[in-house]
Structure 1
Amino acid sequence: MNKKFKYPYVITVPGYIEASLGIQVVHRLCHLINQYGGEAYVISPVINPEWNTPQLTSGKFNEYKESGEVFIAVYPEIESGNPLEAPICVRYMLNREGVLNGNSINAGEDDIFFFYRQEFAENEANVNLLTISTYDLSVFCDDVTKKDLDLLYLNRIPRSSVDFSTLPENITVLSMDQPLSLNELSKVLKRGRVMYSYEASGTCALAGLCGCPVVAKIATGYEKYAITENTSKDVGNSEVAWDDSPNELERIRASLYKYRDFYEGLEIVSNQQILKFLDITQDKAQGFYNKNYKENIMEWVNKRKLSSERINLLSKSINELVSPQIIYVCIYDQYESWRKVLITLESLLPVKKMYSRLNCIVFTDGEYTLSKDFESWVSLCKKTKLNTTIQNIAMQQCFNWLQYVRAGVTFVADGFFSTICYLNKGSEYSAVYPDKIFISECGELESAFLPDFSIDYFLGFPSAFFVGCFFHQSVFIDTSNYSDIYPDFFDFDVLMRLITGKGNRHVGHFSEPLLISESIKELDDNKTEYLVSNYLNARGYVNSLILPNSLGGCRVVYGHKRDLPKISIFIIDNGDVNILQRCVMGLLEKSKYTNYEIFILSCYAEIEENRYWLEEVSKIDPNRIKIIVFPHQESRAKLNNIAATQASGDYLLLLDAEVFPAHDEWLENLVNHCMRDEVGCVGSKVINLNEKVYSAGMILGLNGVVGSPFVGSHYSASGYMHRLAIEQNYSVLPLLCLIIKRSIYQDVGGMDESLTEANLADIDLSLKVREAGYLAVWTPYSIVATDLSPEEKNESKEIYSDQDKVIYHKWGNLIANDPAYNKNLSLKKNYKIEEHSRAYGPSLESKKLLSVTIFSGGCNPMHMYRLEEPFYKMRFDGMIDGVVASEPFIMSDLLKIEPDVIITQNHIQSREITNFKSMNDCFSIYDMNYYELSKFYDNKSKKEQLNKIKEELAYFDRVIVGSEVLAEQYGRVHHDIQVLPTYLPHSWNDLAFKERVSDKPRVGCVTLDLSDEDIELVSNIVRDFSHLVTWVFLGTYPSKLKPFIHEYHRYHGFTHYPQQLASLNLDFAIAPLADNHANRARSNIRLLEFGICAIPVICSDVLCYKGNLSISVVKNRYKDWSAAMNQYIHDVDSARKFGAVLKNEVQENWMLNQKNLETISKSWLPR
């Protein structure tokens, strides 16, 4: 398949039938997409076997959809909504909306429209045409001389509406009641003297091709179907007769050649249109993929870019430090490339300008000359002197921290600023590694967001850690330790020796992406083995086996000197004897490791089948298989605790009955780790029978209290940063298959028997083991299986039980910031970049900035205007910190963010906010910008709703409203009401405008948030002035206005709205509003939008539009609107001057300038 057309199409269409041109066209579209190298399918019961139109059955479609692939749905206009739930929707308009089925399309803002004919677009502007011909011109041609039939075409017009007395006798009716094949139809049309038609149809064109003139008729009540001059334009201006007089028919016969000329030329046009169709739809799908699936790390980095104001504040704080840290960056010119050296040096320039204590040494054998930009802080040194140079400057205390990078690395300046703050805050670590951005083998940038130091993960993937690592000066004091370091892997060598000498706890992690680097995987296997062997020998593992991997790391088989321990395996009977039998027999039959005993803990022995099986299985080996029967149902925690008191093994293996071994080394690979002194527990990879991951460790805070990453991935996948393929340390492991030292289990008090819900007891046990100072190791080399579905896992919780709250209170800090995860990764989509774009941290500023969390309302305009845009501007200017939470939040999100202030426009979130405030005190604000009671007409309903609103708003500390009217309305229901106007962001200042040149004034109306009542106020004005102005409507309008509106523009969403409005090229605009409660409480934002575009405005005399803006305010009476329209129409130049004045007023008073930002800040500050 052509990579350009990589996103597939799924097309819904009725079964193929030759009697319907529209259906043929849609099937033909599928065929053409495939012919052009795309991938297209039809969901249709019948296809044309001669065309390439593969069917997609509902079953296959469900499989196809579950794959998660981005696809494009193509719907003809007879389809409503988005039944396939496609990410990309294309509307193929083979007629006007609602003409055939009477249905409303219910299109989304992002839907793409293509029209079969211009006629079907009516007054819509900027349309895309897709005219596909299915006619065989060798079949439909005028090759019959005998014309002996008078024809009537009927499809959508009922016979009862036809006056047959006005038509020739013995007329032949063509209708769908008796459909003809195409060959049969052509034979009839070729004999036609004339064909009468009450509707525009492709059959009329076929008649023309066959030499039969068409007479246009109109049926009362069915005028919308009639042939018009516009329908003729769509067929190359081919003509129809408007009566059946001999002269008129003769005139039309003489022009029938135009049909053939049009269709012969259509193929070239159609080819161009189908290519445009493919380009537009594929670009749309690619954009969706980039936004929702592709990791765009640089876009994420740029969103967090520090403003000059923030940098100045940071610089001031650094200059006030008593003893700022000296940082040396050592650049190793591995390939003698001055170009690569310059890339790295130039990326450090902005850092050096801000931080004078940054210095650099380039280790190179090249003969280079430094420019003025670098000569004061960069020195050149031969590679052979690398070790002695670093030791000398360490001994002379020339630096506090040293970083070693390879030439070609690009530093992220803002990340370096943040790192400087971190290093200057003081650190107990001897080495600190940052997050980074790796360049993949195919040249794409990929995030490398790492966990806190994990010795097992480090051994498996060392370059993830050592690239960009900072080393403290004290590391290099013992010169004998570092005299033989190999320069190519200096940082790996130093870090490995540091861990060998001092242990894991001296390595810290700073979770900011600091640099862009190639991923280093081609390490010297011998060097790796030498360093790892030294580490293992120092820890007493002299018999260990080191198995290199493809990442430059290794897997370690520790070769313990002690006797292999006895394992006590606990299996809890779940009541299903078949499941239990599979688990136990699988264990007995598929375990190389045999030094174990089995405890089967059953609360189901009263069931005869279970009791019989338990008795029989105990006979297999009474010394190894022990049955403990309980008379009543007990919690899993209590059963395990009881079994632990009776076990004789040194280690306990908690094995879920739903799980069974997938290979015979599963147990010995667990024992390999659990015998290490520093390890407390070890867990397996759990897969299901479809070879998909069911559990692979657990992440605290993921989708709630805890979640399992990589669920649903293929078991052999490597996962994010190879974390599904490498042994590593987690904070929490599930009890599906977990081995733990019995002494540790007892020391931490076993499992908490009060935690009976879900896997809360698992979490608590793992974290108690961690708190006791032990590691939890997860190994992909121990695989067990289950027939449970992965989809049953990973469900986020919205309601928190008392037991959830116990866990949140006890382990909240770890749930918010799991050391085994990364704060830059989402807690809703595992190992995806966090969409809550937060500022860089930490900071050196003495006064902590207010941390504000905005709960996003998507692209709701008022949310963007009142919350997101002010927030981003204030954060950029250094007034606040915080995040915009773009998805419904979960508790762990808030615990991670730690906001001082929460602001939302969604009072439904009040319960969640209350839950959070019970754990973390913060100030909550509800921003209200509309009048909720306007839809309640009787006082009783209003009172009930008012009480409900009062109850919901009671959860918030403050309510901010957009107008004095709202403040008055809601002053009775909340104790702290503040009025805050709505301002425009500065992006409105950057719009592109065209020069306004037109014969008639272009008058606009934006209907996006107008009611039918609002538009009705000016319906007669629109009608009566349609001959004097060009009406331009952005947004939908009542169908009765269609004859009078010249241009209709579909709304393409808030992101595109500012430029869309500017591109309308309006001379002036109208803004009608009915005078009611809801409208009086509105903001004046529509006037501001017109104003910043210098568009003069005539608006209704409603309270929300009153003020000091230079606009024409009129009463909602026809004569007042008419007078204002006439004034603007007859003096457009003066009206434009009003527009210029209005623009100045908006720019001075209604933008997000410093003064207005301070006003907002005061409203957002807690009391």
Structure 2
Amino acid sequence: MHHLATALQQSLCWRVTAPIRWVGTPINRTRQKVALVRRSIAMRGGVGKTASQAVNILRNEGVQGLQARISNAERLLNVPAAAAQAALLQPGEDPYHGWLRLYDPTDKAAMAALGQKIEDLGITTTFSVVMPVYNPPLDYLRQAIESVQAQVYPHWEICIADDASPNAAVRELLTELAAQDPRIKLVFREKNGHISAATNSALEIATGDYIALMDNDDLLPPHALAYMALAAHQHPQAGLIYSDEDKVTEDNVRQAPYFKCQFNYELFLSQNMISHFGVYRRSVLEEIGGFRVGYEGAQDWDLALRVIEKVGPENIVHVPRVLYHWRIFPGSTALALEEKDYALKAQIESITSHLQRIGKPDTQVYPAPGIPGLLRIKHRLPDPLPLVSIVIPTRDRVELLSMCVNSILEKTAYPNYQIVVVDNGSTDEKALAYLDSIAKDERVKVIRADIPFNYSALNNLGVAQTDGEYLVLMNNDIEITQTDWLEEMLAFACQPDIGCVGAQLWYPNNTLQHGGVVLGIGGVASHAHKGIPRGNFGYFGRASAHQMFSAVTAACLMIRKSTYQAVDGFDETLKVAYNDVDFCLKVRAQGLRNLYNPFASFIHHESASRGSDQEGSNQQRLAAEAAIMKQRWGALIADDPAYSPNLTLLGDDFSMAWPSRVAALDVSVSPVAS
């Protein structure tokens, strides 16, 4: 695809039509912006309500907050078609709708093939679709039930609990539909008890092996239960299965797909990444007592947390397909979290009580500052505070090193740290003088390493000279900008199941340089969300949420010294590139999670102290190091658990993959044993 795009851009036709494109591009962009505004206003209940929400955001978050909301709305509502994918779209076709047509078809032939697959495998797992109902628009309710009835998979029932809806027509419609289909089971509550109590009433009449949660105004695509059944068949110990999801407008237009990663614990503590479509083993829900009354607004999140405590993360399965359509209309949680402020208190209480149950009562939970819809946690620091050793390789470039070291010495509030500068043969007189001057500070140690540049070897030499229990590996072009940076990183690094902790790094022009490392992008790995501006929260908030990544950059990385030593440090055959990725993957292989913490945030004057990897011998060396990585970590590079196979490997922007890397049907699934 890349070669196709390159050939197109070099063609005579492309060059001749350049003036037309130059004029047409801003016109098209303007049209897209106008369409986006119209869609947003319609979804938010009209001009008046949209204006009111904008005023509230301005009052609470300022102009920058409003700009950030607009930027994130663009990412959610407008999925642009790149040149490489444009040829695959039909005239006037929305990119997401074209993607669905190509890679997630639900036409008659595709559904027949899926149904035959289920029959051939002999799968008979039963599902109870549980639906609490309270006064929904009747057409939405009918559509929701009909979407269950349209399932390719036959082994289901739908258990509906009406929570004393004031509108008598709701009861009439439900009774009518149940009379026509014995798979529809009804409970009519005499008194309104809200969503948790109503869902528990529906659970009481459920008999399926698995419980599938559905709201009374949402939709299931016809293959939803079929793919859940396949997942349960492939993973017979699964206690919780979840899928990707998208939004559907009042007139049933699909948009804003959330292509999720595999279960990501720290991300889940920041946002409910499971949400829809969530399917739970019924015996587990019975064991934990179903939904807890009093957690309305976060009842699904609270339920999932308690299930995970019971079954363990290893029994959570992700199906990388869009199997749920979340209805967008004024007042819905799908549209705007600020319309249901009551949910925030329940969300915080859900996470807090989970942390208490697993033995972390002192961990704080609160809204992520300035980031709508995300929570953050902060673990208690060790007592006494451990010594942290900061290792900084350098050569000459005194203006960089002095910026880095001085910013640490001047801005670090954490009291117990040392700096180990590894001088890789500096010859510049000013640099040597600066090294001599900082060596007089009792917090700083300078060691000489007169060897050819080898980033891995320099770090290993530096670590050997450290005294700390924890290490920070830091480039000499990092500029510290916050006083509590060490506390932020240490709070995660001191957790027994955490390996490497990486920071959020910004270019001097206020665009993102590092938001975690995604494997596979560009062939081996690249930085997530690279280049997005400040105020843009990333793909569904992922640039701004603490979360697991397979790797993080060693431009600023914290880790226990004992863990560093256990994996034999950096591999010195990887002299320049990918050594930090390799190191993180070795740590991951020890059963530890590597973490990205956006609340430790600095400026990175990236690679200012060395040349480009794309020139001469550097290019050859980069290719050799890439080959080592592919040979060593090929399976992980092909399928990063912290990324979605529905997202691109051609860039860092979390745009859709053309094509998706999800197989049309999993031919590796084995039949049920007879």
TM (norm. structure 1) is: 0.45
> Which residue does the alignment assign to 1:608?
429
Which residue of structure 2 lines up, in the alignment, with residue 741 of structure 1? 560
Over 6 Å off, 4+ runs: 286-290, 292-295, 440-444, 792-800, 844-848
Aligned partner of 1:513 among 322, 336, 346:
322
Residues 594-638 of structure 1 show CA distances to partners (whole Å, capped at 9, x for unaligned) of 31100000122444332222111111x23x200110222241111
CA contact (8 A) 1:725 1:780 kept: yes
Equivalent position to 2:276, from 467, 475, 480: 467
The equivalent of 1:433 in structure 2 is 242
Distance 2:20 2:592 in 1: 48
Task: Describe how 1:631-710 pairs up with structure 2 within 5 A.
Answer: 631-710=450-529
Alignment of 1:241-640 (within 5 A): 291=86, 296-304=95-103, 305-322=105-122, 324-351=124-151, 354-364=152-162, 365=164, 366-368=170-172, 369-371=175-177, 375-382=181-188, 386=198, 388-389=200-201, 392=204, 398-438=207-247, 445-462=255-272, 464-478=273-287, 480=289, 482=291, 484=293, 486=295, 489-517=298-326, 518=328, 520=334, 521=337, 522=340, 524-549=343-368, 551-560=372-381, 562-619=383-440, 621-622=441-442, 624-640=443-459
Offset from partner CA, 1:738-775 (integer Å, 9 cap, x none): 101111111111111111142x1111111111111111
Number of the residue aligned with 2:569? 750
Whether the 8 Å contact between 1:434 and 1:510 is mirrored in structure 2 is yes
> 1:832 offset after TM fit, Å?
0.5
Looking at structure 1, the residues matched to 225 and 353 of structure 2 have their Cα atoms a distance apart, in angstroms, of 33
Aligned length: 565
Contact 1:543 1:561 in 2 (8 A): no
Give SS of 1:411's match.
Answer: coil
SS of 2:558's equivalent in the other structure is strand
After superposition, the C-alpha distances for 1:145-189 in whole angstroms (9 at most, x for unaligned) are: xxxxxxxxxxxxxxxxxxxxxxxxxxxxxxxxxxxxxxxxxxxxx
SS in 2 for 1:413: coil
CA contact (8 A) 2:297 2:346 kept: no
C-alpha contact 1:468 1:515 (8 A) present in aligned 2 = yes
Look up the equivalent residue of 2:111 and give its one-letter code: I
Letter in 2 for 1:773: G
State the 1:421 CA deviation: 2.1
Other-structure match for 1:945: none
Deviations, residues 770-817 of structure 1 (Å, cap 9, x unaligned): 111111111111111123499x99999998733322211211111111
CA distance 1:482–1:439, change in 2 (3 Å): closer
User: Is contact 1:565-1:651 (8 Å) kept?
Assistant: yes
Task: Supply the distance in 2 between the matched residues of 1:378 and 1:704 (Cα, whole angstroms).
Answer: 50
Match of 1:990 in 2: none
- TM-score, normalization: structure 2? 0.76
In the alignment, what sits opposite 2:73?
Answer: none
Cα pair 2:153 2:225 within 8 Å, conserved:
no
CA contact (8 A) 2:522 2:650 kept: yes
* Secondary structure, counterpart of 2:150 in structure 1: helix
What amino acid does structure 2 have at the position aligned with 1:299?
Answer: G
- Show the counterpart of 2:625: 803
Q: Secondary structure at the match of 2:130?
A: strand
Residues in 2 aligned to 1:654 and 1:441: alpha-carbon distance in whole angstroms: 51
Q: Give the distance between the partners of 2:613 and 2:284, measured in 1 at CA.
A: 43
Q: Work out whether residues 674 and 741 of structure 1, in 8 Å CA contact, stay in contact via their aligned partners in 2.
A: yes
**Counterpart residue type for residue 363 of structure 1:** A
Give the secondary structure class of the aligned counterpart of 1:410: coil
Distance in 1, matches of 2:472 and 2:127, equals: 49
> 2:320, 2:662 within 8 Å by CA — same for their partners in 1?
no
Give, in whole Å, the separation in 1 of the partners of 2:249 and 2:500.
34
Aligned-residue CA RMSD (Å): 3.4
Deviation, 1:667, is: 2.1
Question: Where does residue 58 of structure 2 map in the other structure?
Answer: none
Matches within 5 A, 1:789-868: 801-829=623-651, 830-837=653-660, 841-843=664-666
Counterpart of 1:511 in 2: which secondary structure? strand
- State the shift of 1:374 in Å: 5.4
Compute the displacement of 1:403 (Å).
1.2
Distance 1:708 1:793 in 2: 17
CA distance in structure 2 between the partners assigned to 1:824 and 1:573 by the alignment: 40
Label 1:314 to 1:503 Cα distance change in 2 as closer, same or farther (>3 A). Answer: closer
Q: 1:500 to 1:533 in 2, by over 3 A?
A: farther
Partner-residue secondary structure (3-state), 1:367: helix
CA distance in 1, matches of 2:459, 2:303: 45
User: Contact (CA 8 Å) 1:580, 1:657: kept in 2 or not?
Assistant: yes
Looking at structure 2, the residues matched to 89 and 553 of structure 1 have their Cα atoms a distance apart, in angstroms, of 38
Partners of 1:711 and 1:793 within 8 A in 2: no
**8 Å contact 1:410–1:516 — kept in the other structure?**
yes
Matched, 1:781 2:570: no
Distance 1:633 1:287, change over 3 A: closer
Q: Which residue of 1 aligns with 2:580?
A: 762
3-state DSSP of counterpart to 1:628: strand
The match for 2:16 is 81
Residue identity in the other structure for 1:317: K
- 2:62 paired residue number: none
Unaligned 5+ residue runs, structure 1?
Answer: 1-78, 91-285, 849-1167
Structure 2 segments unaligned to the other structure (5+ residues): 1-13, 26-79, 165-169
Judged with a 3 Å threshold, the aligned counterparts in structure 2 of structure 1 residues 587 and 698 are, in CA distance, closer, same or farther, namely same
Q: Give the Cα separation in 2 of the matches to 1:454 and 1:466.
A: 13
Contact 2:259 2:644 in 1 (8 A): yes
Output one character per residue of 1:346-389: Cα deviation in whole Å (capped at 9) or x when no partner: 222321xx322021112223413233795221122235564554
Partner AA of 2:161 in structure 1: F
Cα distance change on mapping 1:482 and 1:419 into 2, 3 Å: closer
What CA distance in whole angstroms lies between the structure 1 residues aligned with 2:81 and 2:581?
39
Q: Residue 145 of structure 2 aligns to a residue in which SS?
A: helix
Candidates 537, 546, 552, aligned match of 1:727: 546
Q: Classify 1:772/1:558 alpha carbon distance in 2 versus 1 (closer, same or farther; 3 Å).
A: same
Larger Rg: 1
CA distance in 1, matches of 2:411, 2:95: 45
Q: Percent of counterpart pairs with the same letter?
A: 21
Alpha-carbon spacing, 1:789–1:755, altered in 2? closer, same or farther (3 Å): closer
Give distance in 1, aligned partners of 2:607 and 2:457.
27
Which letter does structure 2 place at the counterpart of 1:371? L
Go from structure 1 to structure 2 and tell me whether the alpha carbon gap of 1:447 and 1:307 turns closer, same or farther (over 3 Å shift). closer
Name the SS for the 1:616 alignment partner. Answer: helix
**Aligned partners of 1:685 and 1:778 also within 8 Å:** yes
Distance 2:265 2:464 in 1: 32
* 1:653 CA drift (Å): 0.1
- Distance (whole Å) between structure 2 residues aligned to residue 748 and residue 317 of structure 1: 44
Instruction: Please give the per-residue CA displacement for 1:222-280, whole angstroms capped at 9, x wherever unaligned.
Output: xxxxxxxxxxxxxxxxxxxxxxxxxxxxxxxxxxxxxxxxxxxxxxxxxxxxxxxxxxx
Shift of 1:487: 6.0
- Number of the residue aligned with 1:210: none
Q: 1:785 to 1:505 in 2, by over 3 A?
A: same
Q: Partner residue of 1:1004?
A: none
Report the 3-state secondary structure (helix = DSSP H, G, I; strand = E; otherwise coil) of the residue aligned with 1:570: strand
Question: 1:1071-1090 counterparts in 2 under 5 A?
Answer: none
